[in-house]
């Protein structure tokens, strides 16, 4: 093993430092020089610069912290800093590497590490700049392979691999260059800064990480673990299930299409247990005018958000916040807000989009180095949030970071993008869900909750030859390309954010996808455990299509539940351009999706459980083992999981006048439990601070966390069923530091009053509540017929129908009295410690 290696691993050899370098020039416009020094810790002089290198070595991995200082008497433009190693001592000769793309849609898949390097881009610098941090590679990179943000390179039969990358957080763009050199591999990481430093001025750079090991996928997972931790990744959002307008209606979407689907989703809640309804491109007056609608949405956005929310969903809105077209208001009012092209002669074109700009297709880009632009963005998103949208799909984000002439040239491109994302976050608050799309990945870590990790899906497998654009075919909408990136980037899920694999299209009508292809998309989405958003015209779905949506939702949720969503491993990552699938394991549970992205039949195998399947072209197979629960616990919230009853206490304090008479009406059977809720709580004017204060005073029932732990340890599904409200449950989970799945009603604050919507009403049941607990138990039983269902509750209103549908009931208070008077069996309990003890006894029988 090489003695001077900074990272070593018994089988995988060592990484020997080769060079430290910087590209610099006298100013931004001047040609750059590549200066070199030794890659060693300390202060290293490179031309007029002093590079500060600190190295933390941990055996098989190392972290570099870097700073660059202008040690000269004149300003220096720093284009980039680079670090290089030679990977040797592993005995392998034939390598493949992961070419990882710059932004969501850019090509990500494995390729052979041949001697030619990345082929020259065939379609010009501007187009290359849409998918690469650099619109042209430096000439000395000829013969090198290029990957963005990170890469892993490995040799399969030898089982050796090396990962390298930048732990970006919006300071620089990281690039990884690789090339074979005899039996060794040269690996260089380059940090693109593009900033002028005054004499004596210094800049800190995002950290660089390198690691060696036997398994390329494990290396990527550890790399992303460290990246997420260093950059404060937001990985804790609940599983996102939703519906989106785009992949059925595209630009043609109108208010009626949306409302029809909201209604269909509301009435089919049990078939499609989703939370988010997201309106995509097509509603806005012009690109850039996000608060005004076109004539397909004649009433504006407010009624749309209202309709989505009263149907019980979170309202989601698509925007492309950093781009504008000439007909938009910001463009007309503030030409100075726009980025100019790199030469400074004309405006920068962020993309060509004839649907957005029928005149010449050109779309311009806001200059986020300007404070007034940042303020404009913040105001826009404050208004979107105030309209009631709490899920934000932020699209075409790369445009903000394209090479351009900006108002402040020394705000690096990654920082421009970061400033824009931060403005949106400030505006929408901590609890709204931000989804990055068309986004350079590293710069968004720590700000977005979700990230599109592949190109657009399409209702067809490949890209039709006449529309192929040379150099970016792999980024153009196609299900094949989406599947490739979704499988290859699976390791990022819940390490950097929640992965958004793009939408499921389950329809068998109105699509060019074969049944196998639609199922392969579903297997890739479900098997990787990312977000599940489907995009079909709901009333048009056949029973079989609906089953595919439901099954995929279930699969994705299950996989996301394994090892905190971090159990997924890509299969065959470095073997073919399209990986062979994914597998997720925890304890006795295994979920795998075996995928054939090729155009001919292949065999795919799994070791544990031993499975070998022959898959025809574009087909897939989902394998589930050890996933069937034997037991599932459904627990009421108010008065059961919680000591207090939030709803009835609020009613007592804030609707004291109306409460007795409405309760009498309920007792006489004139109104249902949900109608009682509407009478008492809907439009209640209690200030949010009062509600927050009240929630600060409630307590968990003794044993509540133990019950959750007991279930988690035994992989027993645990679910809160509550006729209370999501907002309160969310707040209390945060306050108590506990996490659980729940089905409940919706609550939001709008125009100074509280509004409510039912979660899972069931007119077929006599309970009349917003969440029919019997309905939830029966739905679970249909899908898991072998499981024993446990219900824990205290009330005779919402808990009774659930208790009657369960195999084992823990009851207290009025539920116990009611069951006793009916002669129904139950176990009495005082607190949730008793329930844990009772469950132990039940299992021991
Ligand atoms: C709405 C769509 C959907 C989709 C996004 C994004 O290069 N292009 O011209 C290009 C057009 C559309 C596109 C990606 C690239 O899709 O990913 O989900 O929201 O915008 O216009």
Most ligand 1 atoms within 8 A of CB, residue of 126, 250, 438 to mutate:
438
Q: What is the CA radius of gyration of the chain?
A: 28
**Residue 644 near residue 618, CB atoms below 8 Å:** no
Distance CA 135, CA 128 (A): 5
The alpha carbon of 750 and the centre of ligand 1 are apart by a number of angstroms equal to 32
Distance CA 694, CA 653 (A): 11
The alpha carbon of 219 and the centre of ligand 1 are apart by a number of angstroms equal to 32
Asked if residue 456 has its Cβ within 6 Å of ligand 1, the reply is: yes
Q: Which atom of ligand 1 is nearest to the CA of 353?
A: 9
Distance CA 130, CA 144 (A): 20
Q: What is the pLDDT of residue 3?
A: 63
Nearest protein CA to atom 4 of ligand 1, as residue: 456
- With tokens 């549970």, the residue in question is 589
For strands 323-324 and 362-365, give the pairing: antiparallel
**Cβ-proximal residues to 569 (8 Å cutoff; 6+ apart), any chain:** 217, 218, 221, 490, 491, 582, 583, 584
**Cβ-proximal residues to 803 (8 Å cutoff; 6+ apart), any chain:** 773, 791, 793, 809, 811, 815, 819, 824, 826
Annotated active-site residue 371? The verdict is no
Asked if residue 398 has its Cβ within 6 Å of ligand 1, the reply is: no
Distance CA 100, CA 176 (A): 9
- Distances in Å between the alpha carbon of 501 and those of 385, 400, 454, 558, 584? 25, 23, 6, 16, 16
Q: What is the pLDDT of residue 348?
A: 98
The alpha carbon of 756 and the centre of ligand 1 are apart by a number of angstroms equal to 34
588-618 burial by CB neighbour count: b if 16+ within 10 A, else e? ebbbbbbbbbbeeebebebeeeeeeeebebb
Asked if residue 206 has its Cβ within 6 Å of ligand 1, the reply is: no
Query: Is the bond preceding residue 609 a cis peptide, omega within 30 degrees?
Result: yes
Q: What is the pLDDT of residue 224?
A: 98
Query: Any idea what DSSP says for residue 563?
Result: G
- With tokens 């006489």, the residue in question is 668
Most ligand 1 atoms within 8 A of CB, residue of 397, 456, 479, 534 to mutate:
456
Among residues 226, 456, 545, 638, the one annotated as catalytic is 456
β-pair partners for 16: 86
Q: What is the pLDDT of residue 648?
A: 86
Q: Which atom of ligand 1 is nearest to the CA of 318?
A: 19
Among residues 395, 502, 536, 726, the one annotated as catalytic is 395
Distance CA 586, CA 674 (A): 40
For 3-30, give the DSSP string: TT-SEEETTTEEEEEEEEEEEEESSTTS
Distance CA 689, CA 697 (A): 13
The alpha carbon of 45 and the centre of ligand 1 are apart by a number of angstroms equal to 45
The alpha carbon of 437 and the centre of ligand 1 are apart by a number of angstroms equal to 9
Nearest protein CA to atom 9 of ligand 1, as residue: 353
Asked if residue 500 has its Cβ within 6 Å of ligand 1, the reply is: no
Asked if residue 289 has its Cβ within 6 Å of ligand 1, the reply is: no
Packing angle, helices 726-736 and 688-696, rounded to 10: 40
- With tokens 């004596």, the residue in question is 200
Asked if residue 283 has its Cβ within 6 Å of ligand 1, the reply is: no
Cα 157 off chain centre by:
33
What is the spatial order of strands in the sheet that 323-324 belongs to? 323-324, 362-365, 351-352
Distance CA 256, CA 261 (A): 8
Distance CA 96, CA 574 (A): 6
Residue closest to 306 by CA, chosen among 293, 317, 315: 315
Q: What is the pLDDT of residue 1?
A: 52
Q: Which atom of ligand 1 is nearest to the CA of 280?
A: 19
Most ligand 1 atoms within 8 A of CB, residue of 123, 126, 246, 533 to mutate:
246
Residue closest to 393 by CA, chosen among 447, 365, 433: 433
Written as six digits, the tokens of 733 are 């989970």
The alpha carbon of 642 and the centre of ligand 1 are apart by a number of angstroms equal to 45
The alpha carbon of 455 and the centre of ligand 1 are apart by a number of angstroms equal to 8
**Cβ-proximal residues to 542 (8 Å cutoff; 6+ apart), any chain:** 508, 509
Written as six digits, the tokens of 557 are 């949720």
Asked if residue 585 has its Cβ within 6 Å of ligand 1, the reply is: no
Asked if residue 281 has its Cβ within 6 Å of ligand 1, the reply is: yes
**Residue 191 near residue 80, CB atoms below 8 Å:** yes
CA angle 344–350–354, rounded 5-degree value: 125
Phi, psi angle pair for 728, to nearest 5°:
-70, -40
Q: Which atom of ligand 1 is nearest to the CA of 452?
A: 17
Annotated active-site residue 547? The verdict is no
The alpha carbon of 625 and the centre of ligand 1 are apart by a number of angstroms equal to 37
Nearest protein CA to atom 21 of ligand 1, as residue: 281
Q: What is the pLDDT of residue 2?
A: 60
Distance CA 357, CA 373 (A): 22
The alpha carbon of 106 and the centre of ligand 1 are apart by a number of angstroms equal to 12
For strands 498-500 and 450-452, give the pairing: parallel
Asked if residue 246 has its Cβ within 6 Å of ligand 1, the reply is: yes
Asked if residue 318 has its Cβ within 6 Å of ligand 1, the reply is: yes
Asked if residue 395 has its Cβ within 6 Å of ligand 1, the reply is: yes
**Residue 598 near residue 576, CB atoms below 8 Å:** yes
For strands 276-279 and 241-244, give the pairing: parallel
The alpha carbon of 423 and the centre of ligand 1 are apart by a number of angstroms equal to 22
Asked if residue 356 has its Cβ within 6 Å of ligand 1, the reply is: no
Distance CA 537, CA 249 (A): 8
**Residue 678 near residue 620, CB atoms below 8 Å:** no
Nearest protein CA to atom 20 of ligand 1, as residue: 395
Query: Any idea what DSSP says for residue 118?
Result: S
Nearest protein CA to atom 17 of ligand 1, as residue: 456
The residue ranges of the chain whose pLDDT is under 70 are: 1-3
| Burial degree of 807 (CB within 10 A; 0-12, 13-18, 19+) | middle
The alpha carbon of 353 and the centre of ligand 1 are apart by a number of angstroms equal to 10
Nearest protein CA to atom 13 of ligand 1, as residue: 456
């Amino acid at each position: 093993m090489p003695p001077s290696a900074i990272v070593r691993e018994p089988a995988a050899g060592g990484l020997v430092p080769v060079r430290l370098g910087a590209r610099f020039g006298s100013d931004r416009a001047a040609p750059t020089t590549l200066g070199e020094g030794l890659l060693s810790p300390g202060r290293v002089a490179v031309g007029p610069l002093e590079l500060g290198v600190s190295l933390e070595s941990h055996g098989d991995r190392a972290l570099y912290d870097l700073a660059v200082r202008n040690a000269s008497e004149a300003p220096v433009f720093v284009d980039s800093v680079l670090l290089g190693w030679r990977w040797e001592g592993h005995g392998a000769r034939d390598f493949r590497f992961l070419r990882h793309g710059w932004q969501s849609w850019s090509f990500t898949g494995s390729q052979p590490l041949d001697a030619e390097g990345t082929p020259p881009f065939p379609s010009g610098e501007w187009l290359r700049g849409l998918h690469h941090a650099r619109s042209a590679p430096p000439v000395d990179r000829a013969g090198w392979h290029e990957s963005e943000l990170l890469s892993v390179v490995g040799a399969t039969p030898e089982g050796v691999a090396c990962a390298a990358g930048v732990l970006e957080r919006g300071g620089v763009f990281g690039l990884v260059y690789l090339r074979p050199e005899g039996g060794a591999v040269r690996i260089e990481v380059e940090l693109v800064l593009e900033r002028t430093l005054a004499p004596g001025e210094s800049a800190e750079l995002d950290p660089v990480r390198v690691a060696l090991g036997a398994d390329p996928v494990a290396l990527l997972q550890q790399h992303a673990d460290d990246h997420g931790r260093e950059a404060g990744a937001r990985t804790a959002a609940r599983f996102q299930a939703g519906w989106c307008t785009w992949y059925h209606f595209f630009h043609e979407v109108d208010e009626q299409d949306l409302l029809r689907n909201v209604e269909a989703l509301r009435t089919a809640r049990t078939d499609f247990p989703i939370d988010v309804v997201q309106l995509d491109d097509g509603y806005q007056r012009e690109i850039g005018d996000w608060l005004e609608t076109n004539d397909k949405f004649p009433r504006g956005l407010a009624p749309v958000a209202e309709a989505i929310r009263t149907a019980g969903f979170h309202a989601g809105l698509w925007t492309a916040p950093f781009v504008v077209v000439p007909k938009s208001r910001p463009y007309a009012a503030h030409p100075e807000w726009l980025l100019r092209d790199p030469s400074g002669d004309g405006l920068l074109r962020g993309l060509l989009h004839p649907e957005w700009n029928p005149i010449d297709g050109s779309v311009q880009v806001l200059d986020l180095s300007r404070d007034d632009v940042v303020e404009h963005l913040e105001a826009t998103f404050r208004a979107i949030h105030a309209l009631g949208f709490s899920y934000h799909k932020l699209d075409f984000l790369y445009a903000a970071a394209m090479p351009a002439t900006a108002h402040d040239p020394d705000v690096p491109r990654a920082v421009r993008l970061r400033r824009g994302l931060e403005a949106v976050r400030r505006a929408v608050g901590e609890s709204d869900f931000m989804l990055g799309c068309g986004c350079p990945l590293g710069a968004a870590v720590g700000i977005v909750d979700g990230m599109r990790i592949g190109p657009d899906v399409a209702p067809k497998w490949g890209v039709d030859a006449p529309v192929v654009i040379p150099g970016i075919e792999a980024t153009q909408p196609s299900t094949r390309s989406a599947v490739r990136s979704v499988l290859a980037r699976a390791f990022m899920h819940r390490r950097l954010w929640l992965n958004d694999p793009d939408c499921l299209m389950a329809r068998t009508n109105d699509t060019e996808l074969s049944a196998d292809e639609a199922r392969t998309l579903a297997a890739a989405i479900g098997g990787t455990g990312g977000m599940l958003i489907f995009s079909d015209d709901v009333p048009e779905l056949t029973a079989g299509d609906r089953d595919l949506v439901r099954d995929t939702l279930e699969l994705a949720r299950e996989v996301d539940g394994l090892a905190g969503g971090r159990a997924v491993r890509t299969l065959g990552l470095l073997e073919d351009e399209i990986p062979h699938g994914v597998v997720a394991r925890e304890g006795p549970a295994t979920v795998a999706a075996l995928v054939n992205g090729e155009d001919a039949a292949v065999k795919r195998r799994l070791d544990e459980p031993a499975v070998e399947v022959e898959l025809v072209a574009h087909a897939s197979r989902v394998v589930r083992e050890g996933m069937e629960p034997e037991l599932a616990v459904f627990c009421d919230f108010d008065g059961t999981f919680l000591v207090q009853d939030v709803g009835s206490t609020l009613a007592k304090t804030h609707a004291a006048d109306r409460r007795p008479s409405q309760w009498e009406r309920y007792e006489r059977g004139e109104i249902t439990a949900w109608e009682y809720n509407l009478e008492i709580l809907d439009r209640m004017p209690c200030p949010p601070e009062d509600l927050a204060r009240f929630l600060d005073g409630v307590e968990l029932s003794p044993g509540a966390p133990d019950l959750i732990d007991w279930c988690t340890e035994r992989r027993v599904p645990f679910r809160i069923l509550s006729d209370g409200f999501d907002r309160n449950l969310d707040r209390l989970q945060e306050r108590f530091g506990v996490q659980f799945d729940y089905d409940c009603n919706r609550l939001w604050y709008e125009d100074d009053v509280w509004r409510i919507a039912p979660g899972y009403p069931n007119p077929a049941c006599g309970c009349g509540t917003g969440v029919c607990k019997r309905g939830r138990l029966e739905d679970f039983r249909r899908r898991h017929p072998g499981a024993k269902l446990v219900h824990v509750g205290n009330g005779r209103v919402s808990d009774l129908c659930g208790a009657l549908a369960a195999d084992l009931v823990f009851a207290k208070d009025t539920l116990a009295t009611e069951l006793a008077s009916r002669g129904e069996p139950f176990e009495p309990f005082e607190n949730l410690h008793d329930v844990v003890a009772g469950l132990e006894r039940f299992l021991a029988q």
